[in-house]
Amino acid sequence: MPSRVSDLAPFDLLLSVAKLGSVGAAARAHGITQPAASSRIRHLERRLGIQLLERSPRGSRLTDRGALVADWARTAIDAAAALEAGVTSLARTAETRLPVAASLTVAEYLLPHWLARFHDSGSGTTVALTTGNSDEVAEAVLAGTARIGFVEGPGVPRGLTAHRVASDRLTVIAHPDHPWSRRGGAGITPADLARTPLVSREHGSGTRLFLERALRDHTEIPLAAPLLELSSTTAIKTAVAEGVAPAVLSSLAVEHEVSAGTVVAVPVPGLDLARTLRAVHRTGQQFTGAALDLVTIARRSAAPVSGPTTSGRPADRSR
């Protein structure tokens, strides 16, 4: 590109002066001040070596040479607009499919609502969803097979950037006849939880990793190995309801069972089980287009979650 015409913005401003009849009107159309518009045109005149405007106390108008430059510039401006429209069209075509990966809690209890809102927005983009644990979601984003990852683990692998989208809280659940269930509001201690073999998610699960880190921060007791490892939230809830062992799951996942009385929420005073759910992308990239739309919907839709009450009724969210 020739250096004197490589920046088309001042020429676009000059076209607006020709169309609207004054520098002030052109400035308002471009969202800048009149002094800023005048300065840009003066800079363009110096760069071209041509006087483009005749200035007087009554205002400014294009010189004959300025009118010629404006006519020539119109072709370049129109070509730039056509290029922008073409690139935008290609970008929209590429976004007819948005690959998303999500951890189980997000995929089962939050994403359906987010996707309904996303569909209602009329984007015309189809979301292709895959689920897994937080480690698997991170691997999918790093590999480029997913543009967005929703994770619940406490850490983010190198190469990924995370953004908070929602809050969640883990809840200890037990069979109604389990000794923990008969303790009422007193609950159990972090040490009780640490030394007890649980029905647990598999390695790589964000829920499991968050719980292990929380316990290590509150007790020096070595953590007991899981009694049973399951990769399904439903399977874990069934095992607890059958009396196999207690478990720790998202409050989102156990609210119905606690309300129905098939399991009991057990408090753990002194142990902070609140966590952040995040959207991740590859570092150096940004959420754009349909991906940004979905993440924005997630942020606006997801209210902080409180755990179920120990009485077996859902927590009151009206406060």
240: domain CATH number? 3.40.190.290
pLDDT of residue 208: 92
Token pair listed for 210: 């968050």
pLDDT at 315 over 50: no
Return the sign of the alpha-carbon dihedral for residues 42, 44, 49, 50: negative
Of 93, 111, 146, the residue that ends a domain is 93
Q: Return the DSSP state at 197.
A: -
Of 48, 69, 93, the residue that ends a domain is 93
Q: In this structure, are 77 and 116 located in the same domain?
A: no
Residue 95 contacts by C-beta under 8 Å, 6 or more apart in sequence?
Answer: 125, 289, 290
Q: In this structure, are 249 and 126 located in the same domain?
A: yes
Q: In this structure, are 125 and 14 located in the same domain?
A: no
Q: Burial level of 3, CB count in 10 A (0-12/13-18/19+)?
A: exposed
Q: In this structure, are 66 and 129 located in the same domain?
A: no
Percentage above 90 pLDDT, the chain: 51
pLDDT of residue 204: 85
Query: Sorting pLDDT into bands at 50, 70 and 90, what band is 57?
Result: confident
**Is there a domain that residue 310 lies in?**
no
Give bridge partners of residue 282 from the DSSP assignment: 160
pLDDT of residue 181: 94
> Where is pLDDT greater, at 307 or 134?
134
C-alpha angle with apex 94: 89 to 96, nearest 5 degrees? 100
**Is there a domain that residue 191 lies in?**
yes
Q: In this structure, are 177 and 60 located in the same domain?
A: no
Of 59, 93, 127, the residue that ends a domain is 93
Structural domain boundaries, residue 10: 3-93
Strand ranges in the chain using DSSP code E only, listed in sequence order: 53-56, 59-62, 97-103, 126-132, 148-151, 160-174, 199-200, 228-229, 247-250, 264-266, 274-282
pLDDT per position as a tens digit, 280-298: 999 888 888 889 999 999 9
> Where is pLDDT greater, at 161 or 319?
161
pLDDT at 199 over 90: yes
**Is there a domain that residue 287 lies in?**
yes
Q: In this structure, are 102 and 87 located in the same domain?
A: no
**Is there a domain that residue 38 lies in?**
yes
pLDDT at 185 over 70: yes
Query: Sorting pLDDT into bands at 50, 70 and 90, what band is 311?
Result: very low
For residue 27, the domain's CATH number is: 1.10.10.10
**Choice among 114-123, 232-241, 242-251 with the minimum mean pLDDT:** 114-123
Q: In this structure, are 124 and 109 located in the same domain?
A: yes
Averaged pLDDT for residues 239-254: 95
Q: In this structure, are 226 and 137 located in the same domain?
A: yes
Q: Return the DSSP state at 284.
A: T
pLDDT of residue 312: 39
**Is there a domain that residue 311 lies in?**
no
Q: Would the pTM count as exceeding 0.75? A: no
**Is there a domain that residue 212 lies in?**
yes
Query: Sorting pLDDT into bands at 50, 70 and 90, what band is 260?
Result: very high
Q: In this structure, are 116 and 89 located in the same domain?
A: no
**Is there a domain that residue 312 lies in?**
no
Averaged pLDDT for residues 113-138: 90
Averaged pLDDT for residues 7-15: 88
Query: Sorting pLDDT into bands at 50, 70 and 90, what band is 309?
Result: very low
Token pair listed for 265: 């929420």
Query: Sorting pLDDT into bands at 50, 70 and 90, what band is 317?
Result: very low
Percentage above 70 pLDDT, the chain: 91
Structurally, how many domains does the chain consist of?
2
pLDDT at 91 over 70: no
pLDDT at 92 over 70: no
What is the average pLDDT score of the chain?
86
Averaged pLDDT for residues 6-27: 86
Distances (CA, A) of 286 to 11, 137, 162, 177, 231: 31, 17, 11, 50, 31
Q: In this structure, are 70 and 123 located in the same domain?
A: no
Q: In this structure, are 44 and 106 located in the same domain?
A: no
**Is there a domain that residue 309 lies in?**
no
In 249-288, where does DSSP find H-type helix? 251-260
pLDDT at 318 over 80: no
Q: In this structure, are 68 and 143 located in the same domain?
A: no
pLDDT of residue 143: 93
Query: Sorting pLDDT into bands at 50, 70 and 90, what band is 99?
Result: very high
Q: What angle do the packed helices 34-48 and 9-20 form, to 10 degrees?
A: 120
pLDDT of residue 89: 59
pLDDT per position as a tens digit, 29-43: 888 888 998 899 999
